[in-house]
Amino acid sequence: MQHTSRTFKRVLTRVLVGLSVAIGILTAGTSFAGPFDGNWVGQIPPSGRCRAVATMTITVSGETLSGAVHNPGNVAPFTGSIDANGDATFTTRRGHPGTIKFTTGHFDANWQSGGCQRHALGDRALDATQNAALIAQRKQAQATYDDLTARAANGDRSVDFTALRASYPFTRQWDVDSSASGPLLQQAKAAADGGDCATALEKLDEVLKIDYTIIAAHVLRSHCLRGDAARIESRIAKGLMASLKHGGNGRTEESAYPVMTMHEENDILADNHIVLKTRDIEVRGSNGHFYDVVHGVLLLPGYVRIQDVYFDVTAEVNGRSSAMAAADTVKAALP
């Protein structure tokens, strides 16, 4: 198990480029006239009725700042001011006020947007060299994922499931919230429950093309298959779960479970008999990592306890960053 821990650290070091979140829509690398002057970018996680991930871009110049919130369906500009300590205020075009705290390399923004309380955690924008490195790492991660999934499917017992999981957020097919794979998995379960394993296996093939890390999909396949094929799927499911659980015990930031998707969080909660009550999304920890913090209830026969569970979602944040950087590079190349 100690070997698995070391492997995870090596994979994160190789695949993740720092802890910054950025996209290439800004030009960085300029000389800053003041301690906070320059371009900044951060990601905005879902909140309340605002269920989509968005991006905040900011340009600071002296005592003024301007920027925009890039939502999937619109762009909302804002302007504001900043003092020498990095404390800033801003107002959106619709009159919603907000605050931003800048430090040397990070910012933390909070504001009201309609019925949603939103926040963004960000960093200085990457320069062209850093952006190119991020895209190169993304290509390497895709190759790693493709290789390891093929080997696992062929029954290779030496597959490093931690490396497989760590590469997934940087692939083209990354499905962080199971929006694509979830409905297919439900259809597969319904077919299997009805005794139609042929249909279930067809749906599961589609699921695993999107996300090979879904433990439930491999368990279901093992139930529908026979002989060596069933044993291979069972080993894959056990290997993924062992890798997922070995990351920590989730009781503190330092022992948080490193997760790559929302379904991994749910798998851990179910395995630990914890019922979700509320969830804080993508909170920056004291070490610079990003965390989801689940506030739940541990339910065991004759025993109930309130319990928080920490998930390290830094890979998810950086996975989105690499996807946005790659998309912007393609956009820039278009005539």
Predicted local confidence at residue 2, as pLDDT:
39
Kindly give the confidence (pLDDT) of every residue in the chain, 335 residues in length, as a single tens digit, with 9 standing for 90 and above. Answer: 434 444 444 444 443 333 333 333 343 444 446 799 999 999 898 887 887 888 999 999 999 999 999 888 889 999 999 999 999 999 988 888 999 999 988 999 999 887 788 989 999 988 889 888 888 999 999 999 999 999 999 999 999 999 999 999 999 999 999 999 999 999 999 999 999 999 999 999 999 999 999 999 999 999 999 999 999 999 999 999 999 998 789 999 999 999 999 999 999 999 999 999 999 988 989 888 999 999 999 999 999 999 999 999 999 998 988 887 777 665 555 45
How much is the pLDDT for 329? 60
DSSP-assigned states of every residue in 60-127: EETTEEEEEEE-SS-EEEEEEEE-TTSEEEEEETTS-EEEEEE-SSEEEEEEEETTEEEEEEEEEPP-
Pairing of strands 303-312, 290-300: antiparallel
Pairing verdict, β 274-284 and 290-300: antiparallel
The crossing angle, in degrees rounded to 10, of helices 215-224 and 197-210 is 150
Q: Are 122 and 41 in contact (CB under 8 A)?
A: yes
- Domain 2-16+129-246 matching CATH 1.25.40: the answer reads yes
Residue 335 is predicted with a pLDDT of 54
CA end-to-end span of the chain: 51
Let me know if 83 is exposed, middle or buried by CB neighbors in 10 A (0-12, 13-18, 19+).
Answer: exposed
Tokens of 235: 């080993």
Question: Rounded to the nearest 10 degrees, what angle do helices 128-153 and 227-246 cross at?
Answer: 140
In angstroms, how far is CA 245 from the centroid of its own chain? Answer: 17
Q: Is 2.40.128.120 the CATH classification of the domain at 38-125?
A: yes
Angle, vertex CA 296, rays to CA 291 and CA 299, nearest 5:
140
Question: pTM of the entire structure?
Answer: 0.79
Please tell me the distance from the alpha carbon of residue 217 to that of residue 236, in angstroms, as a whole number.
10
Sorted by where each begins, the domain ranges of the chain are: 2-16+129-246, 38-125, 257-317
**Residue-level pLDDT at 23:** 37
